[in-house]
Amino acid sequence: MALGAAIVPRACRRWLRTDLLVLRLQKLLAGAGHGSRRCIEDWIRAGRVTVNGKPARLGDRAQPGDDIRLDGKPLAAGAVGQAHAVLLYNKPVGEVTTRADPEGRPTVFDHLPPPPHGRWIVVGRLDFMTSGLLLFTTDGALAHRLMHPSAEIEREYLVRSRDLLSPAQLRQLHAGVTLADGDARFDSVTQARIEGTHAWYRVILREGRNREVRRLWQAIGSDVSRLLRIRYGPVPLPRELGAGAWQLLPPAIHEQLTLAAGGPNEARRDDEPAVWRAARERRRAAPSRTTRRPAGAGKP
């Protein structure tokens, strides 16, 4: 008998096999960066996913060696038990944040090193004319949580405005303006320096809507001539990292990003069935039935 089988109780051996080797299908694919867990659940309900030639069902489990397909096309399932990597890239102007561009423009993925395992998943996007910090990770679940609006991760930018903003315009950016997709505002707007007729501002917001900084500027009657992201959550853009250069970050950064996105407990709950989540929310909403016994009650 193998040593592990001899000293580990049967129930624990079953838990170890399930937790370390086999994962719920939606968590395995989300961790590999194929989409959010809920999006993958929708694929499964629609009958679009197969595992080893059989239609997948909600609750099915899989492991990296299985043949997993979406609409007949293979999906890489990543690796289990390996430490996830995080990479920082200083995006130059003139690259798109996609794996392939129909117009043939260069993409940010063209210049990245091979990942240690799995594939690189980009955390957020920067438009064609915006430069600066982009994060990539092999942890798909973390990437989705960092980008989710509920995480409220700070994004910090340097903005070069075509003109000097008036006090009224600055107050408007703080108070908020109405865009086509809803109200938006900066948490912070501070003037950095003035260059001739242009002015630089340092701004912070907690959303990642499409071209949000530029649209906020346009909404107050001004325009952005240059935009550079210098921080995403706890990770700043190193001053010594030139445009088009990348840097593998230490494992501690993955832990910091996990905490910024809600902590490891939220990551573990990502695998629980929807019915469990619903039951937990009902318990939270229900008034407590626990009553405290008065001091001395029941005593002689």
H or E, element range at 3:
helix 3-7
Q: Are the C-beta atoms of residues 199 and 193 closer than 8 Å to each other? A: yes
For the chain, give the number of residues.
300
280: Cα within 13 Å, side-chain hemisphere: 7
| Catalytic hit among 66, 127, 187, 271 | 127
Nearest one of 96, 102, 142 to 123, comparing CA atoms: 142
Query: How many Cβ atoms sit within 10 Å of the Cβ of residue 36?
Result: 19
Structure tokens at 107: 């993409």
Give yes or no: 187 in active site.
no
Q: Are the C-beta atoms of residues 206 and 233 closer than 8 Å to each other? A: no
Distance CA 138, CA 293 (A): 52
The catalytic site residues sit at 127
